[in-house]
Amino acid sequence: MSSFIHREIAKTTLNGEEIYVCMYVHEEVLVNLSFFKKTDVGFEEMLRHDVPAETGKELVRRVRANDVEKVTPTELKVFNQSLNMYNILLSKEIKGLVSKSVNGMKVEYVGELAGMNYIVSKSDEMKIQQIYMLQKAGVESGFEIGRIPAPFVEMILLDYVHHNKVGEKASYFMVDQNQFFGLKESKSSRIIYVVKIDVFPESVSATKAYMISKKNHYEYTLLPIQESTPQLMSGLQEEGKKIINQFIKEMNMTAQ
């Protein structure tokens, strides 16, 4: 898990069952929750399709009200070991399921952020990579592919940068049909330029620009660009708009 998100563990008892709460926190803000039921052989994730609505609401209420218990150092160690193994096995399961293709596209990377899994895919014909959220629907239901929730888009881009090399040649990512991001590394390799490009009914426009500063291999900081836009950033925007316009045309032709 990337350094800008950390997890906090607590526990509670509901209907006679001991449940561990995994809270993912970014800058003191809770961004996601996972619940794990303690069993005789370890821990089992409580997937949303397998949990009654009232149970889910009560667990969330307890977390928001801070009506949960602290875990002991020993309990924390045991749970973290179990959770790490669970994530490794889940990642292998995902890679096995999506290694061939997703929506006709080759999967290039499977990542995990704040208890959520995402995939990056690309076709040989198109220059745009696509990012999808991948969620386990239920014990017997397999995985669902969907859009990344808006609050997590930039965090997932940061996580992708954390685990993957971004070169001096620009890379473009589609989050949905109206939202794209362009990334390009500076020659110094200390800064990654980022532009957000939105697709409107009448135009394709760069609506946001910032930089990712790489302090070291594990720490990344967002630097908003306020006064001037570097020449490299301007080129990233213009190239991105051309590529995305072409991408949209190809998508429309495919849909016809």
Residues 82 and 115 in one domain: no
Between residues 233 and 246, the one the model is more confident about: 246
Chain segment 199-214, per-residue pLDDT in tens: 887 778 777 777 777 6
* Nearest Cα residue to 58 out of 68, 69, 44, 72: 68
Is 144 part of a structural domain of the chain? yes
Residues 57 and 110 in one domain: no
Q: Tell me if 199 sits within 8 A of 177, measured CB to CB.
A: yes
Residues 6 or more apart in contact with residue 85 via CB below 8 angstroms:
none
Residues 69 and 136 in one domain: no
Is 99 part of a structural domain of the chain? no
Chain segment 84-119, per-residue pLDDT in tens: 888 888 777 777 666 555 556 677 888 888 888 888
* The pLDDT value given to residue 90: 79
Chain segment 213-228, per-residue pLDDT in tens: 766 554 555 655 544 4
Residues 124 and 175 in one domain: yes
- Does the global pTM surpass 0.75? no
**Mean of the per-residue pLDDT values for the chain?**
79
Residues 52 and 116 in one domain: no
Q: Tell me if 75 sits within 8 A of 68, measured CB to CB.
A: no
Chain segment 51-70, per-residue pLDDT in tens: 888 998 999 999 999 999 99
Is 1 part of a structural domain of the chain? no
pLDDT band of 10, cuts 50, 70, 90: very high
* The pLDDT value given to residue 140: 55
Q: Tell me if 235 sits within 8 A of 218, measured CB to CB.
A: no
Instruction: Indicate the number of domains in the chain.
Output: 2
- Supply the range of the domain harboring residue 148: 105-255
Q: Dig out the tokens for 80 from the structure.
A: 């973290």
* Nearest Cα residue to 245 out of 237, 233, 255: 237
Residues 116 and 212 in one domain: yes
Residues 87 and 123 in one domain: no
